[in-house]
Each structure stands twice: as structure tokens, then as C-alpha cells.
Amino acid sequence: MSTAMTRAAAPSVAGYVAGVTGGDRAVLARAITLVESTKPAHLALAQQVLQALLPGAEGRKPALRIGITGVPGVGKSTTIDQLGMNLVEMGHRVAVLAVDPTSRRTGGSILGDKTRMNRLSQADNAFIRPSPTSGTLGGVTRKTRETMALVEAAGFDVVIVETVGVGQSETAVADMVDMFLVLLLAGGGDDLQGIKKGIIEIADLIAINKADNDNKVRAERAAQEYRNALHILTPRDAIWHPPVITMSGLENSGLDRLWGHISAHRETTIASGEFAARRQRQAVAWMRDMLEDRLMGALRANPAVAAQLPGLERQVREGVLIPTLAVDEIMGLMGL
């Protein structure tokens, strides 16, 4: 049976598995749409597909998952486009997932992501996909993790997760990847006094981007400031001290050094056992996040809760009922 799917035909679990593992990009795209769906029937089918793909993971070398963040204008898309092209030329297969938890209004844009990474989007061994989250961190967790599982099953050995949101999204992405890269600018308003300490603390690698032309000296000065600052912060892992480098995604300068550090981080963490341990922690965190997501879904779907919730929220909002008692009443309605 052909793995090609038409819109009229409802694919089976076997059809999805054969298509994804067989390199059918149309099937992969449809499988991702399936895991992103909130319809109960789609959710059930998606879990069957993911479970069926799981045994195959045992025979594959784990893909390298890289998270990349940075303020708007730092050059994330340019860097990913060039780095991705470099990796494709080296023989890698690269998947890029763009996460935006602030996209409640627009829902993300496939066209936008492919326009920003024009060359990579046209490469045969690359795959770019936005991961719309409906404005929730829970959406980041569930949809992006499941999409990562699908692209890895499809044979992409480098998965780049770009967070284009702000705030807690960086932590959410850092907790689902093997290496977390923070891109910064020199003199662009995100110097030491402007960047959040928490983001630096979860970084595995810091790169000062746009170190080209007249900006090279400023970039190197900023890099040295961050190196000094990192000495007084507790590193994320005892076995790895985050390097700080300068680079230019636009000029493809320093990206070989960037990839060298990423590769060294992988080798170091695999040798120490931290790579496997982090993956195990992430799997358990995925389960817990899914559990919370399902529990909240069951709560919203409960008729008794739906009938009482607006009134309870109004009382809490007006200050006549404390949140603790409101929660107790909701739990009682759930029989808990």
C-alpha cells in the first residue's frame, strides 16, 4: 500500500508509521497536524502513532536537540538558516521547530517561518515547522515534544527548537532539549544589566551575534563581560562550563566554532551519563505535564464544574471568596 495520503482517506496507525519512517514529508506534516489537534479522536490516534514509533527509537542514535533563544532582532532566523545549511552540507538532516507561546491571536505562520529561513526551507534534507501553542506553556510542552518525536522518527538527526516568545517559554524549551543556546547582541539593550539572570543560568552556550564590521570589538568586549559574569553563577551542569563566543550568522563567521562547542557538549554529557539522565528526566517531565494537561481538560469538561466556575471566579474577582476555598469547592465538584 502506498504511504501517500489524500485528504479524503483517513490514514491508519500503520499508514502514519510507514509514511513517517519511510521519509514521506507529506505524511510527516499530516502526522504533526494530528498531534497538534485537540479533538479527542485525534488525540487518541496520535498517542497510538507515537507509541508505535517508540520501539524504532531503540535502533536509532539519538537526535541532537538544540534550543535557541534570543531577543527579537538578535538574528535567530539568520543564524538557524545558515547553521542549518552548514549542517545539511555536512550530511545531517535538520528539522526546525519554531515555538511561539504568544501566538494566541495569529496561531503562528508556516509562511512566515519559511520566509525567514528561505534557503533552509528549500533544502531536501531540512524540514521547518512552526509549533503553534494557543498561548499556553502547556501547548509548548505537549505539541513540541510530540513533534520532536515525529521528526526524529522520520530520520532528522538535528532538531532545532527556536523560541520566538519571551518569559517562561525559554525555560520550557530548555527543559526539552540537550543543548540550550542563548544569542545576544553587544550594545543592543541586552547587556549584563538588561538580560535576565535566569536565562543565563540555564544556557549551555552563549553567542554574541552580529560580530561583524564595526561591531567586532564591541562584541568581543561583551563576550568577555559575560565570561566574567558566568564565573560567579552556578553552572547548569557541574561537568560543563558554558562557553561564550562571538559570531556572525549573516557572514557565516564563527558558526564552525559554535558547532564545535555543541558537539563537544554532546560528547561530554554522553561520556558522563548526563545526556541519558537528562533525557530520562525530560521523559518523566513530559508525562507529568501531560497529566496536568489532561486533568485540566477533564476539569473544564465536567458539567458541574462548568456550571459553577463562572460564579466562583466572579466571587474571587470581587474579593468575597478566597481562592483557596474556591479551589476546594471545585475539587469537591470533581469528587476529589
For the chain, the structural domain boundaries read 1-59, 60-271, 284-333
Residue pair 205/262 in contact (Cβ under 8 Å)? The answer is: yes
pTM of the entire predicted model: 0.84
d(CA 206, CA 81): 18
Confidence grade of residue 8 (pLDDT, cut at 50, 70, 90): very low
Q: Name which of 10-14, 91-95, 275-279 the model is least confident about.
A: 10-14
Per-residue pLDDT at 57 exceeds 70: no
Please tell me the predicted confidence (pLDDT) of residue 117: 84
H/E element, 271: helix 255-272
pLDDT per position as a tens digit, 199-228:
777 889 999 999 998 889 999 998 998 888
Domain 60-271: CATH superfamily is: P-loop containing nucleotide triphosphate hydrolases (3.40.50.300)
pLDDT per position as a tens digit, 294-328:
888 888 889 999 899 999 999 999 999 999 999 99
Percent helix, strand and coil across the chain, each to the nearest 5: 55, 15, 30
Angle of CA points 55, 267, 257, to nearest 5°: 125
Please tell me the predicted confidence (pLDDT) of residue 61: 78
Q: Which residues contact 3 (CB under 8 A, 6 or more apart)?
A: 15, 18, 19, 22, 24, 27
| Residue 226 φ/ψ, nearest 5 degrees | -70, -35
| Fold classified for 1-59 | 1.20.5
DSSP 171-226: HHHHTT-SEEEEEE-SSSS-STTTS-HHHHHT-SEEEE----GGGHHHHHHHHHHH
